[in-house]
């Protein structure tokens, strides 16, 4: 892969990204809020789930392809909306979108991306998805929706769990900003990452492309910070979703559902899918992991609406476990950002290859031939999984034909 080291796991991509991305941007990705208990639980709770190993199953032909909100995908995985991905690597959102396009999975562009909607649209061919934060300035939001429609975005992902920012200690200690403030301390630190700096010097995309130059009065980093501090709207309610639906008119996904009652309400507001999410453990610390809540939310929805999830996906095995717990598909955020930071577009591609190969192999060893047929039977009972009903003694026996 053009001389790129052979990364075998997402963890190897993470370690490489840590060496190549300046601390304030690496820790923006690899951190949670407050004590980080929810951030850790998102990954740790996946480890509590065990597979049922099955044998004597013909798995010579396996299928990973399915759909997400009616869109064909090569596997049930999307790249999650992640803020300032363009600070992990120069032109990061463009590179990630191109990798996802070639791989056949959706890419979701964040409102607070470095590359703008127009930038990504100009450098990709397939439609991508756009993630929206509700702001107080409804005129700006209406314009943002119109820009996403003009760019042929095929789905709008409305995030519901960031109307106030969580207590992110590392971001505060690092003085996070995009681009970084040019203090003596920051300059000394950035000098340790010459390749990252060279990439940033070559690109004009170093600030918030969807906001700077588009929001009234926002012309640079100083005015952007002041605007953002005042714009996240704490008055957002379920009633505002209808306003967004009317202006969007296309596929709508609601992100940030972590409670059964909220899931029931969200099902009834006309969305096409829900994302079980705790914002990667970056908002309410002490909230449960997404994988532990997924089966409960799936139970109350009864398949009435397509159910997605994010949080803690670091392998193809995690993807399979999420599908077994009731998800139709999953989103990866940190995993692809590690790949982006480690090796740019090739690193994102390698991340997707790793997850695909792990999902495929685990399906085979668990006796599964089609990703669309995965259900709770693939997991052993225990932890937050309900006991599984197995065939009784009078079940029809398997007949073995003599050779």
The CA angle 77-13-3, to the nearest 5 degrees, is 105
Binding site annotation covers 216? no
Binding site annotation covers 110? yes
Contact partners, residue 385, CB within 8 Å, separation at least 6: 49, 295, 325, 376, 379
The CA angle 109-306-296, to the nearest 5 degrees, is 110
Q: Do the bridges between strand 251-257 and strand 155-159 make them parallel or antiparallel, or are there none, so unpaired?
A: parallel
Query: What three-state secondary structure class fits 353?
Result: helix
Binding site annotation covers 275? no
Binding site annotation covers 279? yes
Binding site annotation covers 193? no
The CA angle 9-14-16, to the nearest 5 degrees, is 100
Find how far residue 244's CA is from the centre of its chain: 22
Binding site annotation covers 326? no
379: nearest Cα among 327, 324, 328, 314: 324
Binding site annotation covers 83? yes
Distances (CA, A) of 137 to 48, 114, 320, 344: 44, 20, 41, 34
Do 97 and 120 form a contact (C-beta atoms < 8 A)?
yes
Binding site annotation covers 26? no
Distance of alpha carbon 329 from alpha carbon 331, whole angstroms: 7
Active-site position among 279, 302, 308, 328:
279
Q: Is the CA virtual torsion 178, 183, 185, 188 positive or negative?
A: positive
Binding site annotation covers 191? no
Rg (CA), the chain: 21
Binding site annotation covers 357? no
What is the H or E stretch that residue 337 is in? helix 334-365
Distance of alpha carbon 205 from alpha carbon 196, whole angstroms: 13
Binding site annotation covers 45? no
Distance of alpha carbon 166 from alpha carbon 232, whole angstroms: 12
Binding site annotation covers 223? no
Annotated catalytic, 150?
no
347: nearest Cα among 79, 31, 24, 32: 79
Binding site annotation covers 168? yes
Cβ burial, residue 56 (10 Å; 0-12/13-18/19+): exposed
Binding site annotation covers 289? no
Binding site annotation covers 7? no
Binding site annotation covers 133? yes
Feature table: binding site for FMN: 81-83, 110, 131, 159, 255, 277, 310-314, 333-334
Feature table: binding site for glyoxylate: 28, 133, 168, 279, 282
Feature table: binding site: 28, 81-83, 110, 131, 133, 159, 168, 255, 277, 279, 282, 310-314, 333-334
Catalytic residues: 279
């Amino acid at each position: 892969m053009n001389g790129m080291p052979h990364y075998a796991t997402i963890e190897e991509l993470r370690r490489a990204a840590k060496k190549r991305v300046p601390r304030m941007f690496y820790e923006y990705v690899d951190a949670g809020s407050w004590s980080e208990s929810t951030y850790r639980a998102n990954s740790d709770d996946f480890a509590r789930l065990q597979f049922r190993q099955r044998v004597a199953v013909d798995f010579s032909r396996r299928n990973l392809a399915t759909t997400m909100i009616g869109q064909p995908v090569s596997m049930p995985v999307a790249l999650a909306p992640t803020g300032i991905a363009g600070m992990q690597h120069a032109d990061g959102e463009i590179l990630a979108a191109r990798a996802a396009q070639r791989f056949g999975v959706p890419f979701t562009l964040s409102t607070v991306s470095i590359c703008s909607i127009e930038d990504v649209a100009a450098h990709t061919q397939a439609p991508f998805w756009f993630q929206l934060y509700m702001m107080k300035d409804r005129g700006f939001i209406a314009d943002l929706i119109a820009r996403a429609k003009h760019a042929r975005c095929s789905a709008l992902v409305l995030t519901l769990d960031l109307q106030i920012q969580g207590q992110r200690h590392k971001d505060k200690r690092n003085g996070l900003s995009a681009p970084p403030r040019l203090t003596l301390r920051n300059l000394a630190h950035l000098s340790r990452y010459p390749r990252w700096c060279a990439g940033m010097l070559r690109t004009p995309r170093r600030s918030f492309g969807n906001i700077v130059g588009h929001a009234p009065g926002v012309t640079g980093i100083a005015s952007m910070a002041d605007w953002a501090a005042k714009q996240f709207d704490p008055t957002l309610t379920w009633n505002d979703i209808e306003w967004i639906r009317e202006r969007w008119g296309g596929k709508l996904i609601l992100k940030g559902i972590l409670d059964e009652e909220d899931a029931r309400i969200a099902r009834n507001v006309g969305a096409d899918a829900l994302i079980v999410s705790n914002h990667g453990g970056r908002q309410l610390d002490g909230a449960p992991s997404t994988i532990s809540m997924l089966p409960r939310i799936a139970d109350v929805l009864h398949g009435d609406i397509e159910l997605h999830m994010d949080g803690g996906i670091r392998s193809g095995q995690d993807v399979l476990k999420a599908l077994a717990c009731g998800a139709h598909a999953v989103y990866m955020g940190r995993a692809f950002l590690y790949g982006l930071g480690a090796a740019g577009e090739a690193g994102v591609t390698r991340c997707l290859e790793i997850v695909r190969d792990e999902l495929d192999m685990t399906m085979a060893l668990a006796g599964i031939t089609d990703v669309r047929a995965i259900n709770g039977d693939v997991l052993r009972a225990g932890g937050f999984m309900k006991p599984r009903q197995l065939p009784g003694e009078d079940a029809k026996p398997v007949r073995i034909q003599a050779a």
